[in-house]
Amino acid sequence: MEDVTVLLNSQRRFYGTGKTRNIDFRIRQLVRLRESIIKNEADIMEALKKDLNKAPFEAYATEIGMVLEEINYLIKNIKMLAGTKKVRTPVTHFPSASRIYKEPYGIVLIMAPWNYPLQLSLSPLAGAIAAGNCMILKPSEYAPCSSRVIGKVIREVFPEKYIAVVEGGMEVNQRLLQNKFDYIFFTGSVSVGRIIMAEAAKHLTPVTLELGGKSPCIVDETANISLAAKRIVWGKFLNAGQTCVAPDYILVQEKVKEVLIKELNRYIRKFYGKDSVHNEEYPKIINERHFNRLLSLMKNEKVKGGGNYSSKLLKIEPTVLEPESIDSPIMQEEIFGPLLPVLAYENIQEAAAFVNNRPKPLALYLFTTSKRNERFIMKNTSFGGGCINDTIVHLATSHMGFGGVGESGMGTYHGKESFSTFSHSKSVLKKSNFLDIPLRYPPYKKKIKLL
């Protein structure tokens, strides 16, 4: 407790010097972060291999590359994002001018999960740097090699009074949360998200919660089934299904169900081979607890493809399942692993009702060539974000915000949304002293007639 308080006090003192408010300072720190990531690239790749068996291509495309892109966007746009914005003023306030000033919150706590340990730590961190804050970053203990390398990347270039990495387990989070921060950015499960929000409420600290849930993938009879299967298999089995926006389950129109299942299995074999468990490029499950949880979810379901696993390697084949019923355990919790249940529906209204009867998902994917069905789903379902005729890629852009809605989270980030998330918008009206219209001042008698 004492060490956290000491650290926070040193950050408060540093923040109080006003150094982080300078835009050139922020740009220099973003450049330093970029250089440190590039310098440590080999160590990062090795850590991701050890923690999750991520292949170098996947590690670069979904972690390092995404963070670098975010940093580059922020460096390029920071002056525009941080600039004071002049806005219109209602005529009733004449003569005056209105401006919105962007200011940093102060000390930000960022807590990250283990599945994309680098990206989900350093992307929000880059946004918080750009907005001019000091930061404490807490990576997940379940990806210990990545947590260590993140510590190295940061400590090599930043003093703790500006950016500190605090490593450790859940008890460290709890200790951190007993302190007052000016902003908390949490990525993780819905259940821990509730705890974070309750703790933040004690200090009235604003939060962004990037959570999870069951993201549906709807495939209708008009879809290009083969291409849909290819893109679903890619998005679902990336990182062995341990992706917050992975399609959790498929809702497919009854008529095309069997052909879709056939195509899913064809692409699984094409991408990962006949023996995916021993495929060097196929990621592992993070730990034994999650491995056993996934096996128990699979236990009573009809396997339509895959189903093999290795307890020694903590790997489970990409597996297509047909749930016994919609009340099966696999349809109750976020799967977060390489198991893909396929359920059939008859018409698009039924598919939308299925989604709407459950907590609002983080992502929704729709495969269709029907404009009518596209309009219907966009208008009648609520979800954090998603794709039409693809999976996952909606988050790989600095031009759209990424985040959940309802139980899948609150707040967005990436690109300009990251800057807004970590900044307070201070609205200020400046009045002229040359003219003072007397209408608003008491006594009000008779003035009511003028309104």
**Footprint of ligand NAD (CB under 6 A):** 111, 113-115, 120, 138, 140-142, 169-170, 173-174, 187-189, 192, 195, 210-212, 244, 334, 336, 362, 404, 409
Minimum separation from the CB atom of position 245 to ligand NAD (A): 7
- Please identify the residue of the shown chain whose CB is closest to the bound ligand NAD: 212
- How far apart are CB 353 and ligand NAD at their closest, in Å? 24
Q: Which CB atom, from 99 or from 290, has the smaller least distance to ligand NAD? A: 290
Count of alpha carbons within 13 Å of 273, Cβ hemisphere only? 8
Q: Minimum distance between the CB of residue 98 and ligand NAD, rounded to whole angstroms? A: 35
Q: Are strands 315-316 and 309-310 parallel, antiparallel or unpaired?
A: antiparallel
Nearer to ligand NAD, 323 or 411 (CB): 411
* Closest to ligand NAD by CB, 78 or 362: 362
In the structure encoding, which two tokens stand for residue 340, read together? 């893909």
The nearest distance, CB 422 to ligand NAD, in angstroms, is 16
- Other Cβ atoms closer than 10 A to 98: 15
C-beta closer to ligand NAD: residue 228 or 285: 285
Instruction: Outline where DSSP puts E strands in 323-412.
Output: 339-345, 363-367, 385-388, 409-410
b/e per residue 157-195 (b: at least 16 CB within 10 A) = bbebbbbbbbeeeeeebebbbebebbbbbbbbbbebbeb
Strands 309-310 and 163-165, bridge-based pairing: unpaired
- Minimal distance, residue 123 CB to ligand NAD, in Å: 9
The span from the CA of 265 to the CA of 284, in Å, is 20
Catalytic residues: 210, 244
When the beta carbons of 211 and 238 are compared against ligand NAD, the nearer one is: 211
316-349 in b/e form (b: 16+ CB < 10 A) is bbbbbbebeeeebebbeebbbbbbbbbbbbeebe
Question: Rounded CA gap, 205 and 184, in Å?
Answer: 7
